[in-house]
Amino acid sequence: MEIRETRAVDRTKLLALYPKAFPEEDLTAVVAALLDREDVLSLTAVAGDPIGHVAFTRCGPDRSGALLGPLAVSPDNQAAGIGTALVRAGFDRLTEGGVHQVFVLGDPSYYQRFGFEAEHSVEPPYALPAEWDGAWQSVSLAGRAPLPAGPLSLPAPWMDRSLWAP
Ligand SMILES: CC(C)(COP(=O)(O)OP(=O)(O)OC[C@H]1O[C@@H](n2cnc3c(N)ncnc32)[C@H](O)[C@@H]1OP(=O)(O)O)[C@@H](O)C(=O)NCCC(=O)NCCS
């Protein structure tokens, strides 16, 4: 298994991987939009074919933050460390690129292994439902200063309200 930056040749297979990893959510539009952007770090795990993917969208002042998501590993390859390896490879590249803080909306029981903690200062673009308490999280990279408090500015693909609601 190799983790590398996503290539144009991966696109069709990645767009087919997401409905398998997320059978109850349609992430095709946001993934397709993120794959086209230069402000997105997109990494693919490859073992012959793509078997996992993560995107990090640069955001905030001077693009010093990044939003992690989505993250998907094909069902046949889950629980083998691939998701963890994708996130850690992303952190290494983002740190080199000057990113201070990474945000995620996700299950704390998964993301706490990377040092993510509930974020109360920087806000997501839309208010989240009460049942998602604790799901909005962040981690500071390499002990660098956090982003200023307030709503996080994100590019257009993330301003679809349905991405921030059950
Ligand atoms: C979540 C996901 C990206 C993790 O990738 P992975 O390669 O399977 O996970 P890893 O091998 O790195 O880590 C395995 C650990 O994650 C846990 N885990 C897997 N899916 C999880 C989930 N949806 N929620 C919480 N924990 C999860 C496993 O229980 C295991 O825990 P352990 O290390 O304490 O035993 C992958 O399982 C996936 O694509 N799931 C479906 C899509 C999804 O839910 N993505 C969003 C994540 S919020």
Q: Answer whether 51 contacts ligand 1 (Cβ < 6 A).
A: no
> Number of structural domains, the chain?
1
Residue 73's pLDDT is 98
Instruction: State the amino acid at position 153 in one-letter form.
Output: S
Place of tokens 């301003």: 159
Burial category of 45 from C-beta neighbours within 10 Å (exposed 0-12, middle 13-18, buried 19 and up): buried
Please report whether residue 165 resides in a domain. Answer: no
Ligand 1 center–CA 95 separation, angstroms: 23
For residue range 80-132, list pLDDT tens digits in order. Answer: 999 999 999 999 999 999 999 999 999 999 999 999 999 999 999 999 999 99
Please report whether residue 95 resides in a domain. Answer: yes
What whole-number distance in Å separates Cα of residue 37 and Cα of residue 49? 22
Ligand 1 center–CA 86 separation, angstroms: 12
Please report whether residue 166 resides in a domain. Answer: no
Please report whether residue 132 resides in a domain. Answer: yes
Q: Answer whether 83 contacts ligand 1 (Cβ < 6 A).
A: yes
Residue 31's pLDDT is 98
For residue range 40-75, list pLDDT tens digits in order. Answer: 999 999 999 999 999 999 999 889 999 999 999 999
CATH number assigned to the domain comprising residue 77: 3.40.630.30
For residue 96, give both structure tokens. 């080199």
Domain hosting 114: range is 2-160
For residue range 125-163, list pLDDT tens digits in order. Answer: 999 999 999 999 999 997 778 999 999 999 999 999 999
